[in-house]
Chains A and B, each alone.
Chain A
Amino acid sequence: MHIVDGALAVPVLAVGAALTVAGVAIGLKKMDYDHLPQVGVLSAVFFIASYIHLPIGFSSVHLILNGLIGLALGWAAFPALLVALFLQAVFFGFGGFLVLGVNTVNIALPAVMVYYLCGMGISSSSPKVAAIWGAIGGAGSIVITTVLVAFSLMLSGEAFLLAAKITFVAHIPVMIVEGFVTAAAVLLIRKVKPEFLNIKERCDAV
């Protein structure tokens, strides 16, 4: 999921950086500052999640969790993920500094999209419906991310379909795992701490 330095063309890097700046600005503006600790915790969760490899068969995958982060944070996912990605580049060498903008957009934009697409769903009064929407959000964010990764590679000269196919197939296990994890997380948070997913605010808005 982390594109490394040197894989992308300069215009792609520039557009990615510009979009990230815009996203972070919107995120900081829209962020409810009483939720700042929550933003920090989820940023830390993302930072760690990429480091923990879950064994699947003869290989391993790691969670990305941008769906869950999007559902919880909305636009604030941009600053949260930017910080986490930056620190991952510093400490683990994941990705790189030049591609930081592109990587942030590729991971944070799906998070924001999931926030708008599935936000109502997870606020449903039926836990079953909420869990299903959570799963859709978890898996869907990975799908959108793979498409965005393939798109960034295409703009830099790689064949889109091939890149998309390879990235997509590679992440099918991640999608399944993320779907389950996000659904379970949504169910748990709904019971224990519904304000974490802004469920009350959403209901009030309706």
Chain B
Amino acid sequence: MRFKLIAALCLSLLSLGVAAHNVVGGVYAIGDQIEGEVGFSNGDMATPGTVVNVTDRQGNELARLETDDEGGFTYTATQRIDHLFYANLSSGHILELTLPADELPDSLAAVGSVEVTVDKVAVPSVSTTPIATDRQGLEQMIERAVAKQVVPLRKEIAAYKEKSSLQDIMGGIGYIFGLCGLGIWWRQRQLDKQQTG
């Protein structure tokens, strides 16, 4: 019953939601929190409950998230690795996003490099003074604060990139007419050849 209700809801929402637009989205790291959003280029967001799969580079599933009312999702990273996000919005609309490892804070352990993690643990253990822990905390705070300021800008840039300008439209039409001209020229040349030959 519940499934039917959800399916009906999805269908009714989709009925106007997915009419052939581009899928757009982005993932941004704020500290170890990864925030993302999925939607369509016309401003509609993904249907609430759209499944987003989180995997690593090797394809191992890390988590299965669902989008909220505004097409957003959050994931708390536990490892400093590349995170891949995959969402299927039906009708051939799929979205793949990647969050590179270097956008995540250094404090998260990198996987597959045990030596490095040992090193990292070893260094603070040598000088486990209050100053060192303070420093780490401060670093995290700064990282988070900077990310908070930068994420909205990055979202705006991503939206800006999706927008096509008049130049794009004119350019496309120009190409089409140019191709036509080429065809007509070629045709004319052949006709001329026939006449002379």
- Closest A residue, CB atoms, query B20: A1
Chain A residues whose CB sits within 8 angstroms of the CB of B171 once the complex forms: 91
Q: Which of B23, B94, B96, B175 has the most CB of A within 10 A?
A: B175
Bound: A143/B132 CA distance, A: 66
CB-contact partner of A163 in B17, B90, B177, under 8 A? B90
Interface range for B = 35 or more
> Does A115 count as interface, using CB distance less than 8 angstroms?
no
Bound: A165/B171 CA distance, A: 36
| SS class, residues of chain B in contact with chain A | helix
> Does B114 count as interface, using CB distance less than 8 angstroms?
no
Q: Which of B88, B91, B172, B173 has the most CB of A within 10 A?
A: B91
Q: Is the CB of A170 within 8 A of B14?
A: yes
Known: A92-B168, A173-B19. A48 touches B173 (CB 8 A): yes
Q: Is the CB of B14 within 8 A of A169?
A: yes
> Does A171 count as interface, using CB distance less than 8 angstroms?
yes
Known: A4-B23, A91-B169. A166 touches B11 (CB 8 A): yes
Q: Is the CB of A44 within 8 A of B168?
A: no
Against A, the Cβ 8 Å flags (1 = close, 0 = not) of B11-25 are 100111111111100
Known: A4-B93, A167-B91. A87 touches B175 (CB 8 A): yes
CB-contact partner of B180 in A37, A60, A62, A165, under 8 A? A37
> Does B179 count as interface, using CB distance less than 8 angstroms?
yes
> Does B82 count as interface, using CB distance less than 8 angstroms?
no
> Does A39 count as interface, using CB distance less than 8 angstroms?
yes
> Does B176 count as interface, using CB distance less than 8 angstroms?
yes
Chain B residues whose CB sits within 8 angstroms of the CB of A104 once the complex forms: none
Chain B residues whose CB sits within 8 angstroms of the CB of A56 once the complex forms: 16
Q: Is the CB of B16 within 8 A of A93?
A: no
Q: Is the CB of A83 within 8 A of B176?
A: yes
Interface range for A = 35 or more
Chain B residues whose CB sits within 8 angstroms of the CB of A6 once the complex forms: 94, 96
Chain A residues whose CB sits within 8 angstroms of the CB of B180 once the complex forms: 36-37, 39-40
Q: Would you list which residues of chain B between 139 and 180 have a CB under 8 Å from chain A?
A: 162, 164, 168-169, 171-173, 175-177, 179-180
Against A, the Cβ 8 Å flags (1 = close, 0 = not) of B93-105 are 1101000000000
Considering the complex of A and B, which 3 residue pairs feature the smallest CB-CB distances, nearest first? Answer: A40-B180, A3-B92, A59-B16
Sample 30 A-B pairs with CB under 8 A, ordered by A number: A2-B22, A3-B92, A4-B94, A8-B92, A33-B183, A33-B187, A36-B183, A36-B187, A39-B180, A40-B176, A44-B176, A47-B172, A51-B169, A58-B16, A60-B42, A61-B19, A61-B20, A62-B20, A83-B176, A90-B172, A91-B164, A162-B90, A166-B14, A166-B18, A167-B90, A170-B16, A170-B17, A170-B91, A171-B20, A174-B19
